[in-house]
Amino acid sequence: TTYICKASPMTTSVLDSCLNFSEEEEVILKYWKEIDAFRTSISLSAGKPEYTFYDGPPFATGLPHYGHILAGTIKDTVTRYAHQTGHKVARRFGWDCHGLPVEYEIDKALGLNSREEVLAMGIGVYNSHCRSIVQRYTREWETVVTRLGRWIDFENDYRTMDLSFMESVWWVFKTLFDKGLVYRGYKVMPYSTTCATPLSNFEAGLNYKDVTDIAVVVSFPLRDEPNVSLVAWTTTPWTLPSNLALCVNAHLNYVQVRSVADKKIYIVAEMRLTQLFPALRSKKFQQGDEARIYEVLKSFKGAELVGRMYEPLFHFYDSAERRSCAFKVIADEYVTSEAGTGIVHQAPAFGEDDYRVCVRNKIVDVIMNGERSLPCPVDANGRFVSPVSGDLQGMPVKLADAAICSLLHKMGRLVLKESHEHSYPFCWRSDTPLIYKAVPSWFVAVETIRENLIQNNKQTYWVPASVKEKRFHNWLVDAKDWAISRNRFWGTPIPLWVSEDHKEMVAIGCVAELRAKCELADGSQIPMNLSDLHRESVDSLVVASPSRSGVFLHRVDEVFDCWFESGSMPYAQLHYPFECSEKEFLKKFPADFIAEGLDQTRGWFYTLMVISTALFNKPAFKNLIVNGLVLAADGKKMSKRLKNYPDPTLVINAHGADALRLYLINSPVVKGETIKFVESGVRGVLRDVLLPWFNAFRFFTQQASRWEIKNSTGNKFTQDNDRVRKSQNIMDVWIMASLDSLVHFVHEEMRTYRLYTVVPRLVGFLGDLTNWYVRLNRSRLKGTDGEDSALTSLAVLYDVLLKMTVIMAPFTPFFAEYLYQHLRKRLLTSNTANLPEDAIGKADSVHYIMLPLAGNPKADGKVLVGMSLLQQVVELGRRAREAATISMKTPVKRVIIVCDSALTLDGLRGELESYVLEELNTWEIVLTSDVETWCSISALPNLPILAKRLGKQVRSAADAIKGLDSASLRSFSRTGSIMICVDGKLLHFSKGDLIVKSAFSGDSTRYIATSSSDGGLTVAVCTVQDDALRRQGITRDFCNRVNKLRKKRKLNIADQVDIFYAESAPLDNISTTRALTCNSNLLNRARIYPVDFSCCRGQILISDKYASPGGSNNLSIALAVPAPSLAPAAKKKFAGYVALETLLATCDLSNSKIHGSLENNPFELKLGIDIFPSASSARSLGKGLLAP
């Protein structure tokens, strides 16, 4: 494809029968680049109301996938719409540069396995490696995003690793710190041993998997009754070396039982004996067999166990001081009888409830640093360390379960070992199992602002609303304090300098404050050229104690969770409050619109809400679209490893970006549901939406060219709004009213961000335009009803096509541009100097133009109802034909349309009636409201719905429904409501409760019928055929094949050809010649004038042989270059002069007469009487077919 010029960027001729959408999109991209379309559109919107959009920053360490493409398409569609409705819409791309994704890649690349290895390398060196790969794929991202047609600013992007961004993040933290919303504490958190860092709860929820783990039941002998053991069940044997207590429920019933098999005595919850004795779960177990398995010695409440001491499992934490407070039974309500033994082993460093219960019962004291401090024998990389000893020391905890079970077995403490299937969290980045581990962290006190979060959420608008009202609301109701610190290196350092005892803390909120309060450890000042705030630049800085001379505060070791940074982007992208004033900031906050996937409900959406509420007590956004997940065709998550999805780039290259965009946003995924991505769906959009749309435009162009050729004034076709407004043609009135209704609908629904209603309506209108308006007006557009009528129809079609390019521009930006650039050539170009740059026609891009507003359509309800009925009738008629295997080319004698509403049928009478005749290829239509004569009606109960509502009454209701008379059922079909007596009571039934069926009761030997789903409309097609019908069918088939040959030969509408045919062996005595002669009106209407093959004198362009349905079994058709041909009378007169026709082929036909002599006999041939330029013209003006 070669680029031509900005005024006409498209290279494919509109008369070509095939358009390569993907290639044309590439050309349009070059055009946009040449005219700097995106920035020009922004400059043209100067002074207009601002529409603020926040783009959630993706990581640039991987390539974009369909989830990114979907979210990007939604964002682009909405922001394009906002621009085209009179707003200034700044769109900046952002990059999430910090965090685990980057560090994980570096750790893999450098073979680093522990925190100590990083420290040995040096934080500065490590971070330089991280910085080097942060934007590894930014060029690829920009290429893919741009190729999708998304307009967004990459040059003025924001990066979370830039000093300006990081400084604003510091300001956010200091503001929260000053408000008393930041504190340090221990918390048991999801912990990635691979990445050596804690994760937030919402990160832990991103990657759950079904796994099989070892589950054990372990005995804990009572100190005062060594022969009696408490038994606890756990799926994490690796936590047993840290056991400090056992927890029961004080209100549950417990039993002391003796095992019949080994005579050992155990204490277990009465409801959980099945966990201790698996035989009770066996299918062979029968009631009464308990005595052969165990003997109950006594029963009691859990409260009686509280305070009892037991023997520790391991000696690692067994000391006199520990024994004074630990290794005893405590109680809490979180213990239930739903799983396990009703006794839960407590390892306070590895369980959230364990920690809470043990702190409350003074099993541990996290404030003290002595023996009673929190026991945690696991290092940052998830390996056992001292005091755990022996073979366990240095072993990864998730691999230690088997070794621990072996030790327990040797100690005689392993009661039961089995496999347990359950859902378990994995690290979302490294895809390795998480553990739960108590770590010292810095927290934002979210629980103190929980009520404000709930109230601020109510001020936002979500699509779908259910995510806001249920999933997100429930998350906020149970919101926990947010651990914002990470024990990592590549991130924004937490700007907090503390004393060793943490009693003195100084938060730094900006670079200026850093210079004012900090100094190097040797007392020197911070260099003036400080240009970075990462750890290597600030870790060595100290702050003099405000209260103690000679004491210095040091920065805490942690960096921010990258979610804290992305949640701070509304402020940090603007470098607020440093470079952006309060006034300017308030223009851009909160955002008018954001959009991301459902997985961000507990991610970005949550952090935005928390930080904005903590800072300003308002939400960070007003409107939000939540898209669902894009799965592979097999319903599984898309996986590079499994290669279960097609490469997006290949899909775009094959089908175009517009097809992919429309496929995604015309699916349930735009309202939070999932979609299984199948490439055939993208191909379907191209086939069913874009190609018919192109063909409608192509047909318009062909007919406009035809009109220009036929027009004697030499004028070109141009826009004529006045002609459009004055048209009284029912089809023109209908399509313009439909367009006006569409415009109104699009604006109403886009204001509420309901793409899931807008896109189907747009696609539906294009279907109406291509499948109904263009098809039903083909002959009119071709001039069959006169050139003035053709001109009016062309003006209407042009107006609709032009407006649809503007309306569809946000959704299919490439094809809208393609059509606009071609259509604008036909706009009147005079007096455009004073028009604004974004005026339709003058605008260099369709994306500069404002969307049209709804007007006042002149169509009355009768037209719209009639057209709706016409569409239903045609669809039902086609289905009836298919059922009878009657081709649409074969005419039928009669179609009966039965509807119980005479008023509705009136909508079909008049002009629309002729369209039904044409579309169903019938000689006659009969409209009748006499449904009792033609149709029977019955109803069945919708049992799945009624059973839930009526319960036992459903049988009586079903009998009553089946007994309803036809009058009641027809009334129900019209109103959708009925009262029915069921068991002596009147009950109301509405649409959906009853399944109404209508059946044709006419003569089934002569008619075949289909009915609408509600039974309100029936169309019956006469199946009786005779020779007259067959002859007309042969003629229609002949015309169809001629047009296919023209298309195959790629002839334009202006290309004149002669049409010749020859037949042999006619079937059933119906010859093609006879059929064509009897239906010359059809041929004239189609401007097809066939001539006997023996008259062919011109060069044959294309030919075909086939068996004509119902006619000749060997029919040949040929299209030839037009050659001079004699009229029938002249041909008869000069029949003996064979050389005459050869001579005529060389004659100049520009004169009105031809003189000459044949064998000394003079002759004179008059043009248009005796001789014609072509066989077709001779046929069209002559009487009858030319004979050989």
User: Which pLDDT does position 828 carry in this prediction?
Assistant: 59
Provide CB contacts within 8 A for 142, sequence distance 6+.
154
pLDDT, tens digit, for every residue of 645-682?
888 899 999 999 999 999 999 988 888 888 888 889 99
Distance CA(852)–CA(796), nearest Å, equals 16
Q: For residue 315, is pLDDT > 50? A: yes
Q: For residue 6, is pLDDT > 60? A: no
Helix axes 657-665, 66-83, angle to 10 degrees: 90
Do the bridges between strand 1100-1106 and strand 1112-1120 make them parallel or antiparallel, or are there none, so unpaired?
antiparallel
241 in Cβ contact with 225 (< 8 Å): no
578 in Cβ contact with 510 (< 8 Å): yes
198 in Cβ contact with 448 (< 8 Å): no
User: Which pLDDT does position 1102 carry in this prediction?
Assistant: 87
Binning pLDDT at 50, 70 and 90, where does residue 786 land?
confident
User: Which pLDDT does position 550 carry in this prediction?
Assistant: 79
Do the bridges between strand 228-234 and strand 265-269 make them parallel or antiparallel, or are there none, so unpaired?
parallel
Q: Considering only residues 616 and 1030, tell me which one the structure prediction assigns the higher pLDDT.
A: 616
pLDDT, tens digit, for every residue of 849-869?
999 887 766 556 778 888 888
Q: Which of 294-303, 743-752, 1009-1018, 1120-1129 has the lowest mean pLDDT?
A: 1120-1129
Locate 1111 and state its tokens. Answer: 């006619």
Q: For residue 312, is pLDDT > 80? A: yes
Distance CA(272)–CA(253), nearest Å, equals 10
Q: Please state the rounded mean pLDDT for residues 1104-1123.
A: 80
182 in Cβ contact with 176 (< 8 Å): yes
Which residue is associated with the tokens 């979060």? Answer: 453
The one-letter code for the residue type at 494 is I
Which residue is associated with the tokens 């739960």? Answer: 436
User: Which pLDDT does position 300 carry in this prediction?
Assistant: 94
Distance CA(520)–CA(555), nearest Å, equals 12
Binning pLDDT at 50, 70 and 90, where does residue 1184 land?
very low
400 in Cβ contact with 391 (< 8 Å): no
Q: Please state the rounded mean pLDDT for residues 3-7.
A: 32
Q: Please state the rounded mean pLDDT for residues 9-37.
A: 78
pLDDT, tens digit, for every residue of 77-108?
999 999 999 999 999 998 888 887 788 888 88
Distance CA(1144)–CA(162), nearest Å, equals 85
Q: For residue 4, is pLDDT > 80? A: no
Do the bridges between strand 1161-1166 and strand 1153-1158 make them parallel or antiparallel, or are there none, so unpaired?
antiparallel
Report helix, strand or coil for 373. coil
Closest by Cα among 158, 163, 98 to 570: 158
Report the run of H or E that residue 1086 belongs to, with start and end: helix 1080-1086
1079 in Cβ contact with 1139 (< 8 Å): no
User: Which residues carry out catalysis?
Assistant: 57, 96, 563, 600, 604, 637, 640
Distance CA(59)–CA(127), nearest Å, equals 16
Provide CB contacts within 8 A for 741, sequence distance 6+.
854, 857
Do the bridges between strand 552-555 and strand 630-631 make them parallel or antiparallel, or are there none, so unpaired?
unpaired
Closest by Cα among 933, 941, 944 to 966: 933
pLDDT, tens digit, for every residue of 920-930?
989 898 998 88
Residue 594 per-residue DSSP state: E
Q: For residue 520, is pLDDT > 60? A: yes
Give the N- to C-terminal CA distance of the chain in Å, as an integer. 49
Closest by Cα among 1056, 1023, 1045 to 1105: 1045
Locate 892 and state its tokens. Answer: 């039928």
How is the beta sheet containing 1058-1066 ordered, strand by strand? 1090-1092, 1058-1066, 1112-1120, 1100-1106
Reported pTM: 0.79
Alpha carbon distances (Å) from 37 to 34, 205, 209, 599, 658: 8, 42, 47, 34, 18
User: Which pLDDT does position 997 carry in this prediction?
Assistant: 81
Q: Considering only residues 1031 and 800, tell me which one the structure prediction assigns the higher pLDDT.
A: 800
Distance CA(1103)–CA(1097), nearest Å, equals 15
Q: Which of 295-299, 447-451, 970-974 has the lowest mean pLDDT?
A: 970-974
Task: Please list the residues that pair with 524 across neighbouring strands.
Answer: none
Share of the chain above pLDDT 70, in %: 93
Among 612-616, 888-892, 904-908, top mean pLDDT goes to 612-616
pLDDT, tens digit, for every residue of 547-566?
888 788 999 999 998 899 99
Q: Considering only residues 223 and 644, tell me which one the structure prediction assigns the higher pLDDT.
A: 223
Q: Please state the rounded mean pLDDT for residues 1099-1109.
A: 82
Residue 1121 per-residue DSSP state: -
User: Which pLDDT does position 1187 carry in this prediction?
Assistant: 41
Q: For residue 628, is pLDDT > 70? A: yes
User: Which pLDDT does position 1136 carry in this prediction?
Assistant: 57
Closest by Cα among 255, 196, 269, 729 to 435: 196
Among 15-24, 826-835, 1032-1041, top mean pLDDT goes to 1032-1041
User: Which pLDDT does position 395 carry in this prediction?
Assistant: 92
Distance CA(625)–CA(464), nearest Å, equals 7
Residue 852 main-chain phi, psi, to 5 deg: -70, 155
Which residue is associated with the tokens 């997006």? Answer: 648
Within a 10 A sphere around the Cβ of 1132, how many other Cβ atoms?
Answer: 10
330 in Cβ contact with 219 (< 8 Å): no
CA 371 to chain centre: 56
Alpha carbon distances (Å) from 274 to 287, 288, 342, 416: 13, 14, 11, 12
Closest by Cα among 736, 818, 734, 455 to 617: 455
Closest by Cα among 911, 876, 912, 915 to 896: 876
Distance CA(886)–CA(663), nearest Å, equals 34
Q: For residue 11, is pLDDT > 60? A: no
pLDDT, tens digit, for every residue of 1018-1068?
899 998 888 888 888 888 888 888 888 888 888 877 788 888 888 876 655
Share of the chain above pLDDT 90, in %: 39
Locate 923 and state its tokens. Answer: 């000689």
Burial 706-735 (b: 16+ CB within 10 A, else e): bbeeeeeeeeebebbeebbeebebbbbbbb
Closest by Cα among 804, 832, 693 to 742: 804
Distance CA(349)–CA(337), nearest Å, equals 24
Q: For residue 163, is pLDDT > 90? A: yes
Alpha carbon distances (Å) from 567 to 55, 100, 428, 561: 11, 16, 19, 10
Sign of the CA dihedral 407, 413, 419, 423?
negative
Residue 393 main-chain phi, psi, to 5 deg: -65, 130
Q: For residue 686, is pLDDT > 80? A: yes
Q: Please state the rounded mean pLDDT for residues 518-534.
A: 82
Q: How many residues are present in the chain?
A: 1188
Distance CA(63)–CA(56), nearest Å, equals 16
The one-letter code for the residue type at 538 is V
Task: Please list the residues that pair with 1158 across neighbouring strands.
Answer: 1161
Closest by Cα among 198, 114, 666, 655 to 434: 198
pLDDT, tens digit, for every residue of 1140-1161?
666 666 666 666 677 777 667 7
User: Which pLDDT does position 7 carry in this prediction?
Assistant: 37
Locate 652 and state its tokens. Answer: 């775009």
